[in-house]
Each structure stands twice: as C-alpha cells, then as structure tokens.
Structure 1
C-alpha cells in the first residue's frame, strides 16, 4: 500500500483547495472509502495512470468517510466516483469501477 501513497496521495477537506482547486493542469480525484470493494479494484488502475501520465495529470484519492464536507459539496452518492478537474472546475465525473480505457478516454479530453 505504501507504493500507492507515494504516487497516488490522499486529499482531505483541509487540503482540497490547495491540491485540487489551485492545481496547475488537470487533476483526477477518486472519491472512495476503505470498505468499498469496487474502490479497491480501481485503485491499482488509477495508480498506473498516475505513473503513466506523470507530469500531465495529477491523481489523488479522497476518503469520503474522512472528508464529508467535500463529499457533500460535490454530491457524491456512489463510490467510487472519479472526477476530473481543470483550472479548479469539475469537468467530468465517472461513477463506478470502470475499465482503464474508459478512464483514459475521459481524461484525455482535458490533457
């Protein structure tokens, strides 16, 4: 799990503004929870994307149980939900554990 933390760090209600809203370039955020099975399936996929698109896309994960304010603000009702932000704006959302190809095609629009 330590490998994921290095390349796929967490974001919280407290760090949301600086890491996501004020980020340069596109940012992918996975809204997840430790008890979510589909989240565990998609974690390695997002970790791969984080490595493959290093320098072009930043990837973060937000634990919905630990950051209820941000979760509520973006209307997260189902996890995993993957959102893509650019220039502080939500550009796209993908709900559920989807194939890597789906994530790539959605995020490429914003690279």
Structure 2
C-alpha cells in the first residue's frame, strides 16, 4: 500500500504544475546523450524546459545536452543547455517514437530570456 503525503491533495497537477508558459515549436533540435548525437523535433519550449520527439526512449533522470536554433526578431539565436529527462512516453502503439520532456538545469540567462520572448510572441 502506498501512502501519500498529507499535502498531496494540495499539490497542483498537469498544466497547473508548470512554472513557465510554453509555446509550440516545430524546430529541429540536437540531443547529445552518452551514446552520441541524435536529431529530434521540438514539440514545445519554455524558460524551464523543452519537449521533443525522438526515435528512441530515454530513461527519466538521464542527463543530456541540447542545442537548437530559435527564430528571433533579428534572425536566429543558437540556444544550448544541459538538462535532465523528466518524462518519456511512447507516442503510440504502432509508432516507434517517444515524447521526451527535459527540465533545463543549466542554461545561460540570455538563452532563457530569448525563449521567454519567443513564448510571449507565439
């Protein structure tokens, strides 16, 4: 039997749990894992993280590096940082791709600000 904490009912769930607003994005992203470099497609971004589609599962809490180009008012800005996988779900029964959510633990403030501006303008 599992016990929940006394405040479990007070914890927000789903979208309410998110600290940062997100914006949909259909952009390529480079994901660097221990086994090499992989190309993926972004689903959405926020100041605190990124969600993307990849052709392989990545276990939760896996550390990784990401890089992607984000369109801005004056062109394109290269965004990069290090994060940890917080969710990995198979997209569908017959599709061998996964939706992977990453919490960005280490990202330069200017990159986070650029993402925030992108989200606000979306």
Q: State the TM bucket, normalised to the shorter chain.
A: under 0.3
Q: In proportion to residue count, which structure has more strand?
A: 2
Bigger Cα Rg: 2
TM-score calculated relative to the size of structure 2? 0.26
**Which is bigger in relative contact order (C-alpha 8 A, separation at least 6)?**
1
